[in-house]
């Protein structure tokens, strides 16, 4: 029998994901990876081996998704650098999972937390840029105009 509270939580999460912007989805991935790392740390400290394995495995999957979902055609150099950072985190998570090494886990957690904080700053910058553009969507006369607007926002966001 399904717990009604879990069902409501799952529906809420599903709605949140389906209505989120790409920037918000990225933030949700960072939040998830960080949360799983923190839960794994507690599990390792309490010598709950299976739980720590499950939490770190979830964090590993998120980091790999972050690594594989980058759009290299927009900013190849940035993507290369981020991929290296993600792969370093992934490597440290694998090590932490195999050896139950809190230092390796904390290294990944620190990097992911820093990336998340940076991402929030970039989201705020993008929000400010979008809000300073006067009625840009209404002024678009074709989908080509809208596409160039989105590309411009992406370039400004990356820069």
pLDDT at 18: 82
Per-residue pLDDT reduced to its tens digit, 99-153? 999 999 999 999 999 999 999 999 999 899 989 876 544 443 333 433 333 333 3
pTM of the full structure: 0.76
How many structural domains does the chain have?
1
CATH at residue 122: 1.20.120.340
Enclosing domain of residue 26 = 4-158
pLDDT at 1: 54
Asked if 93 contacts 62 with a C-beta cutoff of 8 angstroms, the reply is no
């Amino acid at each position: 029998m399904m717990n009604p509270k879990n069902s409501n939580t799952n529906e809420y999460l599903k709605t949140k994901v389906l209505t989120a912007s790409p920037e918000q989805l990225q933030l949700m991935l960072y939040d998830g990876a960080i949360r799983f790392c923190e839960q794994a740390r507690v599990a390792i400290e309490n010598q709950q081996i299976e739980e720590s394995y499950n939490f770190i495995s979830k964090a590993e999957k998120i980091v790999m998704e972050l690594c594989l979902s980058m759009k290299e055609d927009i900013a190849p150099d940035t993507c290369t650098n981020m991929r290296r950072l993600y792969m370093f985190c992934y490597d440290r998570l694998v090590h932490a999972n195999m050896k139950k090494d809190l230092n390796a886990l904390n290294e990944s957690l620190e990097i992911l937390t820093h990336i998340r904080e940076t991402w929030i700053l970039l989201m705020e910058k993008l929000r400010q840029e979008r809000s300073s553009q006067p009625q840009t969507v209404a002024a678009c006369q074709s989908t080509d105009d809208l596409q160039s607007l989105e590309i411009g926002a992406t370039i400004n966001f990356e820069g």
